[in-house]
Structure 1
Amino acid sequence: MPVRQFRLTQIATAVFSFYMAAGAARAEADAPEAPAKPVKSAKQAEAAPMQKVEVKGAAASYDARRDDTASKTVVTSEEIQKYGDTSVNDVLKRVPGITVSGAAGRSGGEIRMRGLGNGYTQILINGERAPAGFAIDSLAPEVIERIEILRAASAEFSTQSIAGTINIVLKKALKAAQREFKFSEAKGSKFSSPSVSLQMSDKMGSTSYSFGGNAWRYMYNRLTPVFDSGTDAAGLPNLSRSAPWQDQGRADGMNLSPRINWTLDNGDTVTSQTFINLNQFVSNSHSRTATTLGRGPDYDRIDSTYSSHNGFGRTDLNWVHKLGEGAKLDLKAGVSDNRNTSDSLQIGGNNGLPPTLARTVTSVGTEHGFSTQGKYSRPLTFGAAPADGKGEAPTEHALAMGWDAGLTQRDDQRTQREAALPGSTPDNSDEGFSAKVTRLALYGQDEWNLTPQWSLYTGLRWEGLDTRSDGNTFDAVQQRSSVFSPLMQTLFKFPNKKDQLRVALTRTYKAPSTSSLIPRKFTSTNNSATDPDRRGNPHLKPELALGLDASFEHYWGEGGLLSASASMRRIDNYTHQGLLYENQRWVSTSINDGRAETRGIELEAKFPMRALVEHAPALDLRASVSRNWSRVESVPGPDNRLDQQTPLSATLGVDYKSPSGVLTTGSSFSFRNGGLVRVSGTQGGYTSVRRDLDVYALWKIDTQNNLRVAVSNLLAQDYVMESLYSDSNGTSNRMTVAGGETQLRVTVEKRF
């Protein structure tokens, strides 16, 4: 029955999206064309000064997705705030082509483009990578100005973006004074979460500033069932046990983001921006395992406590100097500091006897970083416009070149102590390491208009990494890698000014994380093939990818869009988690394993209903479908796709705004398929389908007060994950069920 439902959902989603696209195209052909924004501005010019009309028209007509040669989609502040989300992950799950792993409403989900997890999607904050240990979902939407989605790599950003780049831009100073306070309360059957935020900005002469701050608390108490099963070599059941995990805890956090802009007499600007993130988390949990068939675990009861503290701060200073002939020099330097501490205690026993395990683990990690970027840009024009208006137009170029360098020093100390209890063999360890990562990138890029309809972007970027680490339990390790990335993107606009075609060729890569290179071991409590120890691999190589992207876009009326895109990536030095059996214990470590290929198509439609029906209500409709395929050459099929790749995702949304503008409401449905995947010849995994239905309503009480109500995860579906192992001796399977719950969120917004 679940398989049939899944297939019907796929078919229904695809048919609905194609129906919307076809309907929009037919309506456009039959209905009179709506006037474009520039025409409206010309009419307004009769009653307003020409200068003002030109400025507004230019600002309103610019669309990064439509006009930039290098493909980029921008999620605006209004869209980010629409549902009153408290996590940036919840915002991104509604963006076409982006999925977030894990169960709805739970932290720790991974943000993915093209369905690819495992670090293939590059996440940046103001163009910089976040430090190790920083949780992106702790970033509050209130401090975000916009989110930039780059589906193809550009030379200015790191090319560690095989799937693409998501750049989160924090709020900047505004020209007008603004004060806004928000209080939000979210509630579900297993959690509650209050939060407050304050945004301020003002301008005083040549100086402007902004300040954003928010704080939140998340309290939960939930039960997560875990089931283990297995069969012997003949396929007969030999293991069946359940281990419900009762977990309750509290997380507290805050973000601060002050920013100051200075405009100098010569037109230069100097900007100071700081971002501070503080988090703490405490929990206690209890597990009781009931075995009905086969051998029980090493510990059938485990009681645990855990606490962690994380503090991250970064300060950047940016100077923009204007040169002659439109040239510009943009220099930036920044320092960052990150500290993570955690403490845990595990008490384990078996068969109702006194505890035989009392393990305490303490970890302290620090990371200090310095980075600098510089970019020189200059517009150039070759050729002169013909006097008679005929002949070839001059070629306009936007040249830029620059560097991106950084140094990061990381120190980590982990201490494990076990009490000498009767019937136990204590496993004590002191493991520490220090690592230094040096990176340097040099790039150049050019964007020019070959004709009024055809523009071309080319870029070259060389990026080198040097990682050096040493510790008390392993020999010193040094790894150097460098990647040369040629990039090309082109945009052709058809003469009808409605259709356009994009093509991109890229070379990108994914470097191993520092932690994956450190040969330090993390011990699991009940060791098994589906719950192994973990260890880094100092011999990992970067994954290299050649990519091709193509898309066709059709624009019509006021905000109407139909697009179809296709992409492929060929990945060398593909990395996945290998499984070893050493000293009577299972150990998981990352390994390079040949080549992989991934392909995908994406369909998107968005338009106002009035683009189809002249007197229709003020409804904005949007829909998208993404389908992804992949194949790992070293893994036998079927289902030998990239680990955790999302094969199918879809979004469907509608928004309504009342004629008076007092009420705005809408709904969004997002679908993410899971399924079976083979990681290696013996390992596999399964994730269930995830369906999220969200609704919101915004009442503008007056010019200073708003009330926003949102209901998330209305379907409250459970989320199932399975870890599988199979060899000649039999199979083992671990299934975890994350319970779904509906969330109600009420937000009061006040401007003053």
Structure 2
Amino acid sequence: MQLHRVSAAAMLVAGGTFCAAAQAQAQTQTRPTPPDATASEPAPKAAKAQAEQLRRVEVSGNASDESIRKASTASKIVITREEIEKFGDSTLGEMIKRLPGVTTGGRPGRGGDIRMRGMGGGYTQILVNGERMPPGFSLDQLPPEQVERIEVLRAPTAEYGTRAVAGTINVVLREALKKRLNEFRAGFATERGQISPGMSWTRNDNFGDGHAYNLTVNAMRGERIDNLINDTLTHTVASDSDSLLISRGRSQDERSSLNLNGRVQLKLNATDSLAIQPFIVSTRSTSSSQLLQTTTPTPDPRPAGFYDAADTQGDNRFTMARLNAQWQSRLSADTRIEARGGLGRARGESHSVRQESLAGTDSRLQDDSTTSRDSNWSALAKLSHNLGGDHALVSGFEAEGTTRHQNRITLVNGKPQTGLDDFGDDLDAASTRIAVYAQDEWNVGKQWDFYAGARWEGITTKSSAASYDAHNKSSVFTPLAHARYKLDERGRDMIRASLTRSYRSPQLQDLIARPTINSQVPHQANTPDRAGNPDLKPELATGFEIGYEHYLTKGGLLSANFFARRITNLMRNVTALETVRWAATQRWVSRPQNIGKASTAGVELEARFRLDEYFENALPINVRSNLSFFTSSVDGIPGPNNHIDGQPKGTANLGADYRLRSLPLTLGASLNWTPSTTTQQTLITESTANRKAVVDAFALWAINMEQSVRVSASNLSALDYFTGSVINTGEQVITSRSGGPSYTQWQVRWEMKI
């Protein structure tokens, strides 16, 4: 019933947007044409007015992303280089959070995992240049300066892949331009008095007969200090007694990174071209934390391993190198072929030492060392054939593979951790994916566009350690259909609809059976061990979308989009008391399981316009706003909060920017809002997260045509942020909360283009 109510509400909101757009269009069409005053106006004044009008049109800067979005049969949002640079964000997550229906995990102002439609845990497909990145890579490791544009697809397509239940975000790296251009950026950010410098250099140039190249290098160093707050209240039902664990501490992180990506575009002949793209990421971070904790009342007798202070030191390194090559050839006037391949290697090293103590005396020393080596490869072949007019067939084959060797050593007081001897220190895992697809795109008349596609994927995963050998095979067939109808020949009003099938495959780490032991004392349901599940099946989702878009005369947009998904084989981490091989007594273990079916639906509203389009004599302020509403329910989990993991009830963004006429200064600000969430994850576990209200602002001073200075502030609101859980095992009710304050980050950056 809840989904039916949301569907009805979504249609009402969409209908309201239709009416508003129609009214705006009618006002535009019926507005009286001003009399021609050119004859009575002096020529210099008329020329000045014309120049002013041209300048104002240029400020909007929406032509390129608007044209790409309008031409797509499936629903697509394109974020251009201008939008990426606007607020001077330090991470891509902070920039992407302003898009319709997009949220991020973690504290405000810190980026985090990217979620479309509030759905976390791998529902959003993240691609870089159309390819999935290896394990250990995160978009926050990619500086915004290296990105050319971002493509957001709300519904899956055969070409981009169907591991996109919530949608796809494709990050396209800087492209080679056939002109000489150097871009320099240097500056620093500060948060809580910590200085984080950074610089980047991008060079474009051409050489030979039609060849071009691009090179982008980025280096940065960052420091962060956080206050740590953790509270856990345990109520024991049998004795009707409470135990309160209070932890307070501080953590400090230092990170440095070097990123390089490039593209060499070679024109082999009149029909063939070759592009070579290197991509290198190297990061290193050190961390330290100090934690003091008190237990009230003090347990008597104290359990083994009890402590009241912990000091942790950590060091992490990650290096990834990848080389891609792309060959394109025009076999005839109607036929094109594309082949792409890539090779990559990644290495990660982490080392941490945790010293626990009681009453000032050292008691337990845990030393963890992990080394991971990943190798990955990919291959793609695509054939495109035009059948005549606006009708094209595309078919393709894809394959990719990843292998991982991991060595993990855990020592407690200098000896191997009890219980892990059987599993050994070495782990080997491999995953292979093969896919074939075909899609048919055609235009019928001047108003109808259709897209039909199908994709088959097969995935094989295996992992092995000293005491086990696990295999997992799955295959998915996903048919797809999209349609677009232009309400007018100019394409200013259109309706898009999609009926698709998509899926979410288990992550490699979810399939590996080797456990991770939680040493927290006392061992309870809120501090479980973690293990994988080699028998996991992929989730399947049947989806429907329908949306309306109205394009305004000055580069703006009004849109409403409704979506619904029905999911089977839902995966979720379930905590249960188990008899395990690594302990003599039963332990609480969290492992992923397929728990059944779920449904989710929502509506996404977007309005982008210039203020003077609606208010006469108003300043040409660019306004960007969006509002999204979500709902979901998981079968078999009691309500009312049986939602998809971490999905809020909605999200909203409001932003504006304006270029002053009297000064070479551009000002802008934005508000990102996500309400608090409460999710009943399993029959015994409920999770919560605080609301987010993030205010960002920037000022850009153009020194001259080549140089500018940008001052920006991220997270001006700086609210406290906590996540929590309530676990009711029947014998205990455990209520926990962790988090702390967030902080404002200021940034100053000098930019030059020559």
- Report the TM-score, using the length of structure 1 for normalisation: 0.89
**Counterparts in 2 of 1:250-261, with a 5 A limit?**
250-261=254-265
Letter in 2 for 1:718: D
CA distance in 1: counterparts of 2:268 and 2:16, whole angstroms? 55
Aligned to 1:402: 396
Aligned mate of 1:288, from 283, 289, 292: 292
Say yes or no: does 1:311 pair with 2:319: yes
* Superposed displacement of residue 118, structure 1: 0.6
Aligned to 2:197: 194
Question: How many residues align structurally?
Answer: 702
Residues 456 and 23 (structure 1), Cα distance of their counterparts in 2 relative to 1, 3 Å cut: closer
Q: Matched residue of 2:200: which SS? A: strand
Residues 645 and 431 (structure 1), Cα distance of their counterparts in 2 relative to 1, 3 Å cut: farther
Letter in 2 for 1:141: P
Aligned to 1:368: 375
Residues 169 and 31 (structure 1), Cα distance of their counterparts in 2 relative to 1, 3 Å cut: closer
Residues 439 and 279 (structure 1), Cα distance of their counterparts in 2 relative to 1, 3 Å cut: same
**Counterparts in 2 of 1:32-47, with a 5 A limit?**
32=29
CA distance in 1: counterparts of 2:643 and 2:495, whole angstroms? 30
Say yes or no: does 1:378 pair with 2:385: yes
Residues 574 and 23 (structure 1), Cα distance of their counterparts in 2 relative to 1, 3 Å cut: closer
Residues 399 and 33 (structure 1), Cα distance of their counterparts in 2 relative to 1, 3 Å cut: farther
Q: Matched residue of 2:362: which SS? A: coil
Aligned to 1:178: 181
Aligned to 2:26: 29
* Superposed displacement of residue 143, structure 1: 0.3
Letter in 1 for 2:558: L
Deviations 1:26-58 (A, max 9, x none): 5543355689xxxxxxxx9xx9xxxxxxxxx99
Aligned mate of 1:604, from 606, 625, 637: 606
CA distance in 2: counterparts of 1:235 and 1:329, whole angstroms? 73
**Counterparts in 2 of 1:335-484, with a 5 A limit?**
335-350=343-358, 352=359, 354-381=361-388, 396-419=390-413, 429=421, 430-473=424-467, 475-484=468-477
CA distance in 2: counterparts of 1:609 and 1:465, whole angstroms? 51
CA distance in 2: counterparts of 1:181 and 1:27, whole angstroms? 42
Aligned mate of 2:483, from 490, 501, 513: 490
Check whether the contact 2:200–2:219 (CA below 8 A) recurs between aligned residues: yes
Aligned mate of 2:615, from 613, 616, 624: 613
Residues 20 and 326 (structure 1), Cα distance of their counterparts in 2 relative to 1, 3 Å cut: closer
Letter in 2 for 1:334: G
Aligned to 1:328: 336
**Counterparts in 2 of 1:105-254, with a 5 A limit?**
105-106=109-110, 109-189=112-192, 191-205=194-208, 206-233=210-237, 238-254=242-258
Q: Matched residue of 1:245: which SS? A: strand
In structure 2, stretches of 5+ residues that fail to align are: 1-11, 33-46, 51-60, 579-584
Letter in 2 for 1:481: S
CA distance in 2: counterparts of 1:630 and 1:740, whole angstroms? 29
Q: Matched residue of 1:589: which SS? A: strand
Residues 229 and 397 (structure 1), Cα distance of their counterparts in 2 relative to 1, 3 Å cut: same
Q: Percent identity?
A: 34
Check whether the contact 1:213–1:257 (CA below 8 A) recurs between aligned residues: yes
* Superposed displacement of residue 531, structure 1: 2.0
Runs of at least 4 residues off by over 6 Å: 15-24
Aligned to 1:301: 309
- Report the TM-score, using the length of structure 2 for normalisation: 0.89
Letter in 2 for 1:590: P
Check whether the contact 1:173–1:201 (CA below 8 A) recurs between aligned residues: yes
Deviations 1:4-43 (A, max 9, x none): xxxxxxxxxxx999999987765543355689xxxxxxxx
C-alpha RMSD over aligned residues = 2.6
Aligned to 2:506: 512
Residues 59 and 727 (structure 1), Cα distance of their counterparts in 2 relative to 1, 3 Å cut: closer
CA distance in 1: counterparts of 2:17 and 2:706, whole angstroms? 38
CA distance in 2: counterparts of 1:687 and 1:676, whole angstroms? 7
CA distance in 2: counterparts of 1:747 and 1:554, whole angstroms? 37
Q: Matched residue of 2:647: which SS? A: coil
Letter in 1 for 2:101: G
Residues 196 and 353 (structure 1), Cα distance of their counterparts in 2 relative to 1, 3 Å cut: closer
Check whether the contact 2:497–2:546 (CA below 8 A) recurs between aligned residues: yes
Check whether the contact 2:271–2:331 (CA below 8 A) recurs between aligned residues: no
Check whether the contact 1:306–1:342 (CA below 8 A) recurs between aligned residues: yes
* Superposed displacement of residue 464, structure 1: 0.6
Check whether the contact 2:248–2:293 (CA below 8 A) recurs between aligned residues: yes
CA distance in 2: counterparts of 1:196 and 1:490, whole angstroms? 45
Aligned to 1:387: none
Q: Matched residue of 1:741: which SS? A: coil
* Superposed displacement of residue 237, structure 1: 5.6
Deviations 1:221-279 (A, max 9, x none): 22111111122328956021210131112111111002111112223110000110001
Letter in 2 for 1:629: T
Check whether the contact 1:148–1:166 (CA below 8 A) recurs between aligned residues: yes
CA distance in 2: counterparts of 1:690 and 1:247, whole angstroms? 22
CA distance in 1: counterparts of 2:13 and 2:296, whole angstroms? 47
CA distance in 1: counterparts of 2:109 and 2:527, whole angstroms? 25
Aligned to 1:521: 515
Aligned mate of 1:533, from 529, 533, 538: 529
CA distance in 1: counterparts of 2:577 and 2:497, whole angstroms? 47
Q: Matched residue of 1:137: which SS? A: helix
CA distance in 1: counterparts of 2:406 and 2:563, whole angstroms? 40
Residues 273 and 692 (structure 1), Cα distance of their counterparts in 2 relative to 1, 3 Å cut: same
Check whether the contact 2:316–2:350 (CA below 8 A) recurs between aligned residues: yes
Residues 425 and 339 (structure 1), Cα distance of their counterparts in 2 relative to 1, 3 Å cut: closer
CA distance in 1: counterparts of 2:651 and 2:297, whole angstroms? 38
Q: Matched residue of 1:96: which SS? A: coil
Check whether the contact 1:24–1:612 (CA below 8 A) recurs between aligned residues: no
CA distance in 2: counterparts of 1:640 and 1:59, whole angstroms? 43
Q: Matched residue of 1:63: which SS? A: helix
* Superposed displacement of residue 556, structure 1: 2.4
Q: Matched residue of 2:69: which SS? A: helix
Q: Matched residue of 2:661: which SS? A: coil
CA distance in 1: counterparts of 2:697 and 2:448, whole angstroms? 41
* Superposed displacement of residue 358, structure 1: 1.0
CA distance in 2: counterparts of 1:364 and 1:648, whole angstroms? 40
CA distance in 1: counterparts of 2:366 and 2:753, whole angstroms? 51
Aligned to 1:628: 630
CA distance in 2: counterparts of 1:498 and 1:172, whole angstroms? 30
**Counterparts in 2 of 1:579-598, with a 5 A limit?**
579-582=575-578, 583-598=585-600
**Counterparts in 2 of 1:53-92, with a 5 A limit?**
63-92=67-96
In structure 1, stretches of 5+ residues that fail to align are: 1-14, 36-43, 48-56, 382-394
Aligned mate of 1:547, from 531, 534, 543: 543
Letter in 1 for 2:191: G
Aligned mate of 2:751, from 744, 749, 752: 749
Check whether the contact 2:410–2:417 (CA below 8 A) recurs between aligned residues: no
* Superposed displacement of residue 60, structure 1: 5.8
Letter in 2 for 1:336: G
Is the deviation greater in 200-209 or in 576-585?
A: 576-585
Letter in 2 for 1:712: S
Check whether the contact 1:301–1:349 (CA below 8 A) recurs between aligned residues: yes
Is the deviation greater in 358-367 or in 21-30?
A: 21-30
